[in-house]
Amino acid sequence: MPACTENEINMIPPIPCFESKIPNEEWAYTYDTVHTLQMNVGRLCNLSCKHCHVSCGPDRKEIMPREVAADCLRAVISQNIQTLDITGGAPEMNPSFRWLLENAAKTGVHTIVRTNLVILDAEGFRDIPELYAKYGVEVVCSLPYYTKRDNDRQRGGGVFDKSVTLLRRLNELGYGRDERLHLNLVYNPGGAFLPPSQPALERDYKARLMEDHGIVFNNLYTITNNPVGRFREFLDRSGNFCGYMERLYNSFNPGAVENMMCRGQISVDWQGCIYDCDFNQALGLRAEGPATIGEWAGAKSVRRRIRFGSHCYACTAGSGSSCGGATKQ
């Protein structure tokens, strides 16, 4: 049986090491080439969401410098990256954000930005929706539920109403309507439970948002809350950590391992350090191989063994979970 990581040793209750559950040894490795580069451009955010696995907020100081962002774009070209996935924090709050959008567009890479929506109505950021449309950016928005009460319970009072206003504005720019401008929403459970069926919940979201607010969008992504960061703190405070880990383990789906997002992506933190995924980044579990994105940009891309931990059960429970939603319907 593979040795447990320190993260797993500290897990209570004791559950089998994640690697011991992988049904095919090939699935413990990345693909031959990486298709997605995810950039966490900083932990600064105008919100402090309860489910945030990287514990972002208004007081965070970590901001990716432009030199590191430039190394990421260099890697996009040298490694033939298909998708550039920009996240945070609120990525729009990075001072180099507009520069990044413009120069990413010049590379021809498909660009995704993960936004909390409400930042787009703050002073100094109101021009960004037009930039998204100009550069054909795929916009992925956090909207934990389609009702005000459940949404604001996770994200803060008044956030739902502002989100609705911004979604309408994106619709007016063509998002969710123009085939070039994709608008996708993200659902996170409001507690220590798994997401419902993604296709069924997407139908509910589309019906309710259209009926109540006249909003259209392309896809809904259901994402299982990972027991790290601020969500882990919630689990500890509420006494739900042990039960939640048992639920994840008991819901393990072997078929979801093959499509785990870490097999085809690389995650870069604000300092340029490399991880297999954003969750490993939150835990400080560095990827094998080159240490920084600058080194990786000039290296030959090779398969690497993924660093796993018990938190990976969140990505393989039920229908699976990734930054693109369920992985195994």
Sketch the domain layout of the chain as residue ranges.
6-315
Can you give the pLDDT at residue 150?
79
The third-level CATH classification (topology) of the domain covering 6-315 is: TIM Barrel (3.20.20)
Alpha-carbon separation of residue 154 from 191, 232, 272 (angstroms): 9, 14, 30
Can you give the pLDDT at residue 10?
52
Can you give the pLDDT at residue 329?
58
Q: What pTM did the predictor assign? A: 0.93
Can you give the pLDDT at residue 15?
87
The rounded average pLDDT for each run of 10 residues, N- to C-terminus, in the chain (329 residues) is 46 79 95 95 87 84 96 97 95 96 98 95 95 97 87 81 95 96 93 91 96 97 91 91 94 93 95 95 93 92 92 93 81
Can you give the pLDDT at residue 13?
59
Contacts of 210 (CB under 8 A, 6+ apart): 216
Can you give the pLDDT at residue 12?
53
Can you give the pLDDT at residue 151?
80
Q: Where are the alpha helices (DSSP H) in the chain?
A: 6-9, 66-78, 97-107, 128-135, 148-155, 159-172, 198-213, 229-238, 241-250, 278-283, 293-297
Can you give the pLDDT at residue 9?
39
